[in-house]
Every structure is written in C-alpha cells, then in structure tokens.
Amino acid sequence: MSEKYRGLSPAEFFHRNKEIAGFSNPSRALYQTVRELVENSLDATETHGILPYIDVEVRLHEDRPEWVTLRVADNGIGIPAHEIPNVFGRVFYGSKYVVRQTRGVFGLGVKMAVLYAQMTTGKPIYVKSSTRDSDVVGEYLLYIDISRNIPHVQKMRIKKKNKNWHGTIVRLTLEGAWLQSKKRIEDYIRRTALISPYATIRYRSPDGELLFERVSKELPEPPQIGKYHPKGVDIEILKDLIRRSNNNDMTLAGFLEKYFEGVGEKIAQEFLTWAGFQPDTKVKELKLADLEKLATAMKNFPKWRRPRPLTLSPLGSELLKKGVKSILKPEFATAVIRPPSSYGGHAFIVEAAIAYGGEIPPQDNVLLLRFANKMPLLYDEGVDVSRKIVDSIDWSIYKIKFPAPVAVVTHVCSTKIPFKGVGKEAIADVPELEHELEIAIRDVARRLRIYLSKLEKMYEVKRKEVTIRKYMGEVSSSLAYVLNMDPNSISSLLEELLKKELEKKEVTVNA
C-alpha cells in the first residue's frame, strides 16, 4: 500500500499544533487572546505617536459559561478596509515583518486566537476599523479557511464615517476557563499599565471594573524601520535582498552600502578585500557558493560597527520609574537604562528598576516583573534569564533580609528578542544579554542599598532622640538644682541643643 502525500498550510499547521503558540488549554488560551489583542492595540497607538486608550471587556455567555466573549477597542491608526480580511484571516500576514521593535513579530498571535475560537465555539471574529485619513469604516465577520490559509468573509459592510473616529474594535467568542485565568489576566493588565504609564486602560470583567489612568503624557521615541546588520544575515536574506534590489548593474560594494546597517564606502571596500571579493562584482552574477562565502564572511568580519538603536524604543528610566510608582506604590523606587548593545547583529537595550516597601508585600524571594518589548511575561518565569540572575545575587550585600518587600523590574527591547519558544514568555540566557541585565540589576540594587543605609542612620538618630527625651526631664531638674536656675530655662536650653544636633545628623543622612 503506497503512502499519500500532501502539504499543510500555515493555518492548518497551527490548527494542529496550537500548544506551541500558547493555546494549550482553555485557561492559557483566554489569557493569550487578551494579550495578543491588547499588544496589537498598543503597537497601533504608541508606535505612531498616539496616546493609547485601550478598552478591554470580558463577558461570560449566559447559557454556556465555558464560552467567553472578549472585546478590545483602541484609538490606534486603524487598518485599511481592504486589508482587514488578510490581517485577521491569514496566518503570517501583517505589517511587522521589518527590522523594527514591535511587540508582535510572528504575524500569528491574533490569527491563532481566531483559529482557537473557530475550533472551540465555531464563532467568527468581528472586526471594525478605520484609518485616520479614511472617510469610511469597515466592518467584517470572518473565519480563516484553514486548508488554504485565506480569509473567509461571512459578512462585510463599508459605511461612511460620520465622525472623526479612528482605531480598531475586535470581538470574538472562544472557550475559556475564566475562573482559572482571571487572576493571570488581571496581573497582565496591571503590568501592562506599569510598562505603559502613558496609556489609559479600562478593563471590565464579570468581577468588576478596573481603570488605569495614564500618569504621563510623554511617549517614548517611536522606533524607526532599520536595515539588517551584516552579522545577522544568512544566505536566504542575501538572496531576498538581491531579488528586491531589481538592479542588474548593482555592484557588491553598492549592495552592502545600500542594504546594511552601518556600512559605508570605506568599510565596504575593506570588508570585500578581507573576504576576497572584487568590489565591482555584479550581485546578479553571484552563485550559491558565492553567497555562502559572503554570508560566512559577513558574520566573521571583526570590524563592523555596532547596530544603532534607531530601531528600538526603550521606555527610559523616568517613565519606567513613574510606571513602577503608579502600580506598585512603593516607598522607594529607582530605574536605570543601559547603553545600547548587540548580540548576533541584533541591537538591544536593557532597562531595570527596583522598588521597596510601601504596598509591596513582604516575600521570601524577590518579586520579579519581566518585560520584553513592553510585553509583560507572566509564564515560564523559572527558565527566564532574569530569574536566573536575580536568584544568583546575594541580596544580603544590598541590605535585603527576607522576607522583604522588594520587587525587581527588567525590560529588554530588541528587534529580535531571543525567546525560548513561540509562546514568547521566557527570554533565553544569551551571554551578551545576561551580562547587561546583571549590570542593570546590580546598579539599581546598589541605589537601594544607599537608601536603606540612610534609613538605618535615620532610625538610629530617632532612637537616640527617644532615649535622650526619656531622661531630659530628670537631667533638667538635677542641673537646675545644682546651678540654682529655673528648670524651664534648663529644659529650653537642652531642647535647643538637641534640635541642633538632630538637624546636623539629618543633613548627614540626607547627603
């Protein structure tokens, strides 16, 4: 009996392997759907200079409590009406396949949510959207044709826009374990508000409503679309760039200068001489063996400049501190941003913050809040590089004695986050990244130690004051008897001396 062979479309592959995209069970699937929709909304706003307003609503079905309807609305740039079906109904289709920091990178997240809804409830996704410069609003009900990986539009309406609204509204119904996932979803919304202090997020659920008002109107500098770095290319990238050049006369030197980050005329000539290529060779003449040699040489050439951080959008220490103070409400908080670095030709920036006291509950270990490209990471903490570093630190060096009310926040932004899986919940321990994270965490920890040292000195001053005041009356009476003076005068004199001494010590503590 002969075997039968056929191919799988991307949609069919993820339909069969939903676990690798984070949709392993109804609890995780509901959380993942909330996450994908909220992150799309934030990318559609802040990346384009719009202060985000995100409205998230979770409703349970009246007759089927295991069915959950999720609605997310934003005030972003919107989606052109003719693109809506492909954006929501075709796996690996989107606007994020460029060299630029974004939350989503696979073109999969929201489509996986649509697939999961189809698999569990059979309900289509509802999408309403309009761009800023459009005079129409597009509304769609659609499925994904799994076998062909194309959208199947059930209903469509294009209507004239009667007010200056722009943004996107998405609603879908899926099978979700609300009771098991509600704590995780609320944590996700809170942490999103922390890392996006310029956003207003309204969250409504069967348990009530939460409103996180923006605490800043300052947006981070949006990332720019960049070029590939020479160290981050392979043979297929080279072939694709040559195809896109569409120029039969382009030389190898001109190709490097036009399509790669940090490559000018001088360094292009130096590299080609080092690698054994003629600068005036036409790129269309390169054979596969030439491309393999070129890709290998580009990865190994030691004199490339570091990739510039133009493609990145870090939060910045002040905004990060505002977010930490707004959500964690500590008595002390500080944040730091590290200089740009790179791994494998990919630029990255690390930020870290530490918070102590206030409303942070004492715990037997450091409370760790992890973020990647402004995305909260809630699952798989045990295998994340940040947890590895935090657990390796002797916190007693920084005057932390557990249980202690201390939280550490880490944020990595990059054009390519080295996630450990498609679920995008844990960052791998890449040496360059691990090094920068440890420096940042120890930096903020030292600042906390300085604060706690000052606090100890202040408490010591207060203890001395209490002790002195305890015996001041008796000393005043004795001195008045010996000196034959009014006890009240002695008390006033001692009070003045004590006040001066305390002021002197307070200046020392606050220095």
How many residues appear in the chain? 511
167 annotated to a ligand binding site: no
pLDDT for the residue 96: 53
Instruction: Tell me whether residue 424 is annotated as binding.
Output: yes
In this structure, are 43 and 187 located in the same domain? yes
Q: Is 257 contained in some domain?
A: yes
User: Strands 167-175 and 125-130: what pairing?
Assistant: antiparallel
Domain identity same for 433 and 484: no
- Residue 498 assigned to a binding site: no
Which pLDDT does position 357 carry in this prediction? 93
At 303 the pLDDT is: 87
Per residue of the chain (511 residues), what is the pLDDT tens digit?
A: 566 656 566 566 666 666 666 677 889 889 989 998 999 999 899 988 899 999 999 999 888 889 999 999 999 999 999 999 998 888 766 655 455 566 654 456 688 888 888 989 989 999 999 999 899 999 999 988 888 888 889 999 999 988 889 999 999 999 999 999 999 999 999 999 999 999 999 999 999 999 999 999 999 888 888 888 888 888 888 888 888 887 778 888 888 988 888 888 899 899 988 988 888 888 888 889 988 998 899 888 888 888 888 888 899 999 999 999 999 999 999 999 999 888 877 889 999 999 999 999 999 999 999 999 999 999 889 999 999 999 999 999 999 999 999 999 999 998 888 888 766 789 999 899 999 999 999 999 999 999 998 888 777 767 766 766 776 777 777 777 777 777 777 777 777 776 777 676 555 544 4
| Residues 331, 458 within the same domain | no
Question: Could you give the angle at the alpha carbon of 176 between the alpha carbons of 175 and 180, nearest 5°?
Answer: 160
CATH at 384? 3.30.230.10
CATH number at residue 142: 3.30.565.10
The DSSP code for 66 is T
10 Å CB burial of residue 128 (0-12, 13-18, 19+) is buried
CATH of residue 273's domain is 1.10.8.50
Instruction: Of 347, 351, 352, 252, give the one whose Cα is nearest residue 294.
Output: 252
Distance from CA of residue 10 to its chain's centroid? 27
Residue 467 is assigned to a structural domain of this protein: yes
Flag whether 291 is in a domain. Answer: yes
Mark whether 397 and 285 lie in a shared domain: no
Three-class secondary structure of residue 73 per DSSP: strand
pLDDT at 60: 94
| 419 lies in the same domain as 495 | no
- Asked whether residue 217 is assigned to any structural domain, the reply reads no
Is 86 in the same domain as 201?
A: yes
The answer to whether 105 is a known ligand-binding residue is: yes
What pLDDT is stored for residue 20 in this prediction? 65
Whether residue 74 is annotated as binding a ligand: the answer is: yes
Give me 348's structure tokens: 């990255």
Q: Is 187 marked as a binding-site residue?
A: no
Shared domain check, 238 and 205: no
363 bridge partner residues: 404
324 is in an annotated binding site: no
Residue 106 marked as a ligand binder: yes
Does 109 belong to an annotated binding site?
A: yes
What's the burial of 316, exposed, middle or buried (CB within 10 Å: 0-12/13-18/19+)?
middle
3-state SS assignment for residue 406: strand
Burial 59-74 (b: 16+ CB within 10 A, else e): beeeeeeebbbbbbbb
Same domain, 257 and 387: no
Beta carbons of 185 and 87 less than 8 angstroms apart: no
State the residue range of the domain holding 133.
10-212
Tell me if 110 is assigned to a ligand binding site: yes
> Which of residues 182, 212, 242 is at a domain's end?
212
- Looking at residue 495, its pLDDT comes to 74
Does residue 311 lie in a domain region? no
Domain count along the chain? 4
Domain shared by 268 and 374, yes or no: no
Which residue shows structure tokens 């809630």?
Answer: 378
Q: Following DSSP, what letter does each residue of 325-344 receive, concatenated? A: HHHH--SEEEEEEPPPEEET
Within-domain flag for 71? yes
For residues 107 and 183, membership in a common domain is answered with: yes
Binding site annotation covers 196?
Answer: no
If asked whether residues 114 and 19 sit together in one domain, one would say yes
399 is in an annotated binding site: no
Do 337 and 425 share a domain, yes or no? yes
Name the domain boundary from 445, 468, 500. 445
Whole-number Cα distances in Å, 106 to 64, 163, 255, 409: 32, 34, 27, 25
267 near 303, Cβ under 8 Å? Answer: yes
pLDDT for position 510: 45
> Would 222 be classed as within a structural domain?
no
The last residue of one of the domains, among 266, 300, 334, is 300
- Residue 95 annotated as part of some ligand binding site: yes
Backbone φ and ψ for 339, nearest 5 degrees, come out as: -65, 155
pTM of the predicted model as reported, rounded to 2 decimal places: 0.82
Q: Among 489, 468, 495, which Cα is nearest to 477's?
A: 489
The answer to whether position 160 is within a domain reads yes
pLDDT at 178: 93
